[in-house]
C-alpha cells in the first residue's frame, strides 16, 4: 500500500508492506486497505515488483535505480 501524493506515486511517498494471513488473502483489496492502512491506496504485490526488476535487469543491466522505479510507478498507475 502506498500513499499517493497529488494522485501520483512518488519515491518520497509513504509506503506500507503487508504480509497477509490466509484469511486476509480471501478479502477484497479495499477491505484490507481500510482495515490495515486507512488513507493508503493499493500499489502492487511484491512478487510483481520482483519479477519486473528481474526482467529489467535481464533486458537492460545498465538501467539505473530511478529508471526502474519510474517504470514500476508507470505500471502501477496505468497498467495494473
Q: Which three cell numbers stand for residue 55?
A: 526482467
Cβ contact 23:60 at 8 Å: no
Q: Which residue has the higher pLDDT, 22 or 45?
A: 22
Q: How far apart are CA 37 and CA 39, in angstroms?
A: 6
Residue ranges covered by each domain of the chain: 1-43, 45-80
pLDDT computed for residue 30 by the predictor: 84
pLDDT band at 42 (very low <50, low <70, confident <90, very high): confident
C-alpha angle 70-3-53 in degrees, rounded to nearest 5: 30
Q: Would you say the C-alpha torsion 29, 26, 37, 77 has a positive or negative sign?
A: negative
Using left for φ > 0, alpha for ψ between -120 and 50, and beta otherwise, residue 9 falls in beta
pTM more than 0.75: no
Amino acid at each position: 500500500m502506498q500513499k499517493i501524493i497529488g494522485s501520483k506515486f512518488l519515491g518520497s511517498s509513504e509506503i506500507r508492506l503487508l504480509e497477509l494471513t490466509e484469511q486476509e488473502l480471501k478479502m477484497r483489496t479495499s477491505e484490507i486497505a481500510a482495515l490495515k492502512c486507512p488513507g493508503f491506496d493499493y500499489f502492487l504485490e511484491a512478487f510483481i515488483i520482483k519479477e519486473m526488476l528481474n526482467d529489467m535487469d535481464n533486458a537492460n543491466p545498465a538501467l539505473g535505480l530511478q529508471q526502474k522505479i519510474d517504470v514500476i510507478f508507470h505500471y502501477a498507475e496505468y497498467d495494473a
